[in-house]
């Protein structure tokens, strides 16, 4: 076992569960939680479902609730550099040491139940244990995929948020937006609030529901100005950039209003400070230590459309460094990113066999890709290090996959939450 894993055997063991992939059903997670005394019953929960925008809405909510004096737990995925980023408590990720101990409890419960849990089921169990251990007053859980069979759906949320519905994971969720929406809407609960992002029409949503929640469409708030690195909305400076973040902010504010309406204690005068302190690495995010290197994990056409639209709106003409998993809609992402007419184009391919092959990348980007180099992670990191000096004031945009961003951050020695 490599030295780095000697102090973290449970984290190392967790890595071995990645091959199990996605499992339909809630039996495993329920068995784990029951064996651990049902930690999820000790605090109220909010489920955040959707194709895109879940993490951003979660970031706005987590920071706003913390600033309002609440002790907040938030679980999100995927991570960029290490698994501890997936469990955020009252201001930042838990440490690897704490996660190691929590995973030990999860593995012990697994052994007692006689089951084999997936990576995601174990991480959600660890998160819920962490929330109980630290006495959170509210837990925000980002739904991993779909909703019906996602491990997060084992909790009974006081409120559900749906951020968007797009075509992603069709092999598991269905081929149409309606089919995908049905799966995600299984996170709603009878008689409890369901907050819809501004782009979702309640008349379209209602027939797809399998229960009858109270539906609360978010009002799209008007941006006073939108710059490349922030927006100004109703006097609040949004540190998460892009017009799509105005919609995510609007969604979060409606969720806050619903929580306040059902009696959850929130101080409105503190919400502004929390929103303005929000951090969500890897989403139109300036890489620490660089002047002109930006990272965004746009991995599907909807995410790429939002990113390209923001660049066009702000007059940003970036150099582009792109890498993607081969099972994604690489062509759909490429067609959106090419609208930016990038100054230059280079590809990155990591060691994982899931990365798109050079031929797939070149085909997706068309004639612009004929002379584009395909770099390994080391060479891509060197290009990033050299960018500010080589092209001062000219943005380099690294995008295509959150996994790619995480791998490059490791190469660069950057921890996203430091």
What is the domain-level CATH number for residue 25? 3.40.1190.10
The verdict on residue 418 lying in a domain is no
The verdict on residue 417 lying in a domain is no
Q: Which residues of 214-247 are buried (b: 16+ CB within 10 A; e: fewer)?
A: ebbbbeebebeebebebbebeebebbbbbebbbb
The verdict on residue 408 lying in a domain is yes
The verdict on residue 171 lying in a domain is yes
Tokens of 102: 């929590």
Distance from C-alpha of 388 to C-alpha of 248, rounded to nearest angstrom: 31
Domain identity same for 271 and 307 = no
Question: What are phi and psi for residue 269, nearest 5 degrees?
Answer: -70, -15
Domain identity same for 52 and 169 = yes
172: confidence class by pLDDT, cuts 50, 70, 90: low
Residue 396: name the closest of 375, 370, 366 by CA.
375
- Domain with residue 401: its CATH number is 3.90.190.20
Give residue 2's pLDDT.
Answer: 43
3-state SS string over 29-86?
HHHHHHHCCCHHHHCCEEEEECCCCHHHHHHHHHHHHHHCCCCEEEECCCCCCCHHHH
- The neighbour count for residue 130, using CB atoms within 10 Å, is 22
The verdict on residue 56 lying in a domain is yes
3-state helix, strand, coil in the chain (%, to 5): 45, 15, 40
167: confidence class by pLDDT, cuts 50, 70, 90: low
293-296 and 396-399 beta bridge pairing: parallel
Give residue 3's pLDDT.
Answer: 42
Distance from C-alpha of 339 to C-alpha of 323, rounded to nearest angstrom: 17
Domain identity same for 212 and 138 = yes
The pLDDT tens digits for 399-412 are: 999 999 999 999 99
What total of structural domains would you count in the chain?
A: 2
Tokens of 32: 């784990």
Residue ranges of alpha helices (H) inside 231-327 are: 243-261, 268-276, 301-314
pLDDT surpasses 90 at 175: no
418: confidence class by pLDDT, cuts 50, 70, 90: confident
The pLDDT tens digits for 129-138 are: 999 999 999 9
- Residue carrying structure tokens 């955040």: 48
pLDDT surpasses 70 at 19: no
Domain identity same for 97 and 194 = yes
Question: What are phi and psi for residue 377, nearest 5 degrees?
Answer: -60, -40
Domain identity same for 265 and 180 = yes
Domain identity same for 256 and 397 = no
Domain identity same for 269 and 304 = no
Domain identity same for 199 and 264 = yes
Domain identity same for 254 and 293 = no
Bigger pLDDT: 328 or 127? 127
Report the DSSP beta bridge partners of residue 397. 294, 320
Domain identity same for 110 and 240 = yes
pLDDT surpasses 50 at 288: yes
The verdict on residue 164 lying in a domain is yes
User: For residue 413, what are the contacts with CB-CB under 8 A and spacing of at least 6?
Assistant: none
Distance from C-alpha of 385 to C-alpha of 255, rounded to nearest angstrom: 40
Tokens of 294: 């930006």
Domain identity same for 298 and 252 = no
- Residue 300 sits at the vertex; the CA angle it makes with 211 and 361, to the nearest 5 degrees, is 155
Side-by-side strand order, sheet with 236-238? 223-226, 231-233, 236-238
Of the three residues 210, 242, 276, the one that is the final residue of a domain is: 276
Residue 129: name the closest of 155, 147, 111 by CA.
155
Q: What percent of the chain has pLDDT over 70?
A: 95
- The neighbour count for residue 65, using CB atoms within 10 Å, is 30
Residue 159: name the closest of 49, 57, 258 by CA.
258
213-222 long-range contacts, Cβ below 8 Å, gap at least 24?
213/160, 213/188, 213/189, 216/254, 216/258, 217/254, 218/247, 218/250, 218/251, 218/253, 218/254, 218/255, 219/250, 219/254, 220/246, 220/247, 220/250, 221/246, 221/249, 221/250, 221/253
Of the three residues 237, 253, 276, the one that is the final residue of a domain is: 276
Distance from C-alpha of 387 to C-alpha of 383, rounded to nearest angstrom: 6
Of the three residues 276, 310, 331, the one that is the final residue of a domain is: 276
Secondary structure (DSSP) of 98-162:
HHHHHHHHHHHHHHHHT----HHHHHHHHHHHHHHHHT-SEEEEE-SSSSTT-GGGGS--SEEEE
Domain identity same for 152 and 255 = yes
The pLDDT tens digits for 214-254 are: 999 999 999 999 999 999 999 999 999 999 999 999 999 99
The verdict on residue 270 lying in a domain is yes
Q: Which domain holds residue 319?
A: 285-412
Q: What mean pLDDT do residues 365-382 have?
A: 95
Residue 294: name the closest of 315, 321, 314 by CA.
321
5: confidence class by pLDDT, cuts 50, 70, 90: low
The pLDDT tens digits for 45-77 are: 999 999 889 999 999 999 999 999 999 999 998
The verdict on residue 86 lying in a domain is yes
């Amino acid at each position: 076992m490599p030295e780095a894993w000697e102090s973290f055997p449970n984290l190392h063991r967790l890595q071995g569960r990645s091959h199990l992939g996605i499992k339909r059903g809630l039996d495993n997670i329920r068995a784990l939680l029951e064996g651990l005394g049902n930690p999820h019953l000790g605090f109220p929960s909010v489920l955040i479902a959707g194709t895109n925008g879940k993490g951003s809405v979660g970031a706005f909510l987590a920071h706003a609730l913390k600033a309002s004096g609440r002790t907040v737990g938030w679980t999100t995925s995927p991570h960029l550099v290490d698994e501890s980023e997936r469990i955020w408590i009252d201001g930042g990720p838990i440490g690897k040491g704490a996660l190691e101990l929590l995973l030990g409890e999860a593995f012990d419960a697994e052994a007692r139940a006689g089951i084999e849990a997936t990576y995601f089921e174990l991480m959600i169990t660890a998160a819920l244990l962490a929330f109980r251990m630290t006495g959170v007053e509210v837990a925000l859980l980002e739904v991993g995929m779909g909703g019906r069979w996602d491990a997060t759906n084992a909790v009974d949320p006081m409120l559900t948020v749906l951020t968007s519905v797009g075509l992603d994971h069709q092999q598991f969720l269905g081929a149409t937006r309606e089919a995908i929406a049905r799966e995600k809407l299984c996170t709603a609960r009878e008689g409890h609030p369901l907050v819809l992002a501004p782009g979702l029409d309640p008349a379209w949503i209602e027939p797809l529901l399998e229960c009858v929640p109270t539906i609360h469409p978010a009002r799209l708030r008007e941006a006073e100005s939108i710059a490349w690195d922030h927006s100004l909305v109703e006097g609040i400076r949004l540190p998460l950039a892009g017009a799509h973040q105005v919609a995510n902010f609007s969604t979060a504010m409606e969720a806050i209003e619903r929580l306040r309406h059902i009696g959850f204690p929130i101080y409105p005068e503190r919400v502004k400070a929390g929103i303005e302190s929000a951090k969500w690495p890897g989403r139109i995010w300036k890489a620490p230590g660089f002047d002109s290197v930006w990272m965004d994990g746009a991995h599907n056409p909807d995410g790429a459309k939002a990113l390209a639209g923001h660049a066009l709106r702000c007059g940003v003409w970036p150099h582009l460094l792109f890498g993607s998993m081969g099972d994604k809609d690489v062509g759909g992402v490429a067609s959106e990113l090419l609208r930016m007419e990038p100054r230059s184009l280079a590809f990155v391919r990591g060691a994982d066999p899931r990365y798109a092959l050079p031929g797939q990348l070149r085909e997706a980007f068309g004639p612009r890709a004929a002379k584009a180099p395909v770099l390994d992670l080391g060479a891509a990191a060197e290009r990033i290090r050299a960018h500010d000096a080589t092209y001062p004031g000219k943005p380099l945009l690294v995008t295509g996959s959150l996994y790619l961003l995480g791998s490059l951050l490791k190469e660069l020695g950057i921890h996203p939450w430091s």
